[in-house]
């Protein structure tokens, strides 16, 4: 999971408390968390519920998020909205990050990957599982 801001946003680091303050609406200006004097605009994905609940549980310690947000649907929408609004902040799965946005340093939040097969895996699926367990581990951060 990753937090993203606009490319022009100079904020370098955000801790749990700051992130909680931002996403609960306690902080409404970037200068309150060490950034420039600009209002904070939160982008919240409606269809990224798994990521949202993990963020609320692990970063916000269960605090209630603010409703004064730009409500969007998918992780891609989150990225697009953050990329065009200098005051914006959002979070989503690791894959959300690309060169249109940037990610400040934040506490790491990860979730385990669960693989479930319906019955015994086929030869091809078994090959994938074997890859994930061996060479694929190099691409997974534990």
Contact 93, 2 (CB under 8 A): yes
Given 37, 39, 99, 114, the residue binding another protein (CB under 8 A): 39
Structure tokens at 44: 């919240």
Enumerate residues 6+ apart whose C-beta is below 8 A from 14. Answer: 3, 22, 33, 104, 105, 106
Comparing CB distances to another protein, the nearer of 31 and 127 is 31
Given 9, 18, 83, 106, the residue binding another protein (CB under 8 A): 83
Using rule CB under 8 A, residue 80 touches another protein: yes
Using rule CB under 8 A, residue 21 touches another protein: no
Comparing CB distances to another protein, the nearer of 41 and 60 is 41
Comparing CB distances to another protein, the nearer of 22 and 72 is 72
Q: Which of 141, 142, 113 is nearest to 128 (CA)?
A: 113
Using rule CB under 8 A, residue 101 touches another protein: no
Shortest Å distance, C-beta 84 to another protein: 4
DSSP per-residue codes, 122-133: PHHHHHHHHHHH
Using rule CB under 8 A, residue 74 touches another protein: no
User: Residue 25, exposed/middle/buried by CB under 10 A (0-12, 13-18, 19+)?
Assistant: middle
The residues of the shown chain that bind another protein, judged by CB under 8 A, are 28, 39, 41, 43, 68-70, 72, 80-81, 83-85, 87-88
């Amino acid at each position: 999971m990753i937090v993203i801001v606009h490319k022009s946003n100079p904020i370098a680091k955000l801790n749990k408390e700051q992130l909680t303050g931002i996403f609960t609406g306690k902080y409404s200006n970037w200068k309150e968390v060490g950034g420039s004097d600009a209002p904070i605009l939160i982008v919240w994905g409606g269809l990224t519920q798994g990521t949202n609940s993990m963020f609320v549980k692990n970063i916000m310690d269960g605090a209630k998020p603010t409703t004064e947000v730009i409500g969007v649907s998918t992780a891609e929408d989150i990225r697009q909205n953050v990329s065009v609004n200098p005051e914006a902040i959002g979070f989503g799965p690791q894959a959300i990050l690309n060169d249109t946005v940037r990610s400040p340093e934040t506490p790491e939040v990860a979730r385990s990957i669960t693989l479930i097969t319906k019955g015994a895996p086929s030869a091809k699926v078994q090959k994938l599982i074997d890859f994930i367990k061996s060479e694929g581990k190099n691409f997974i951060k534990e």
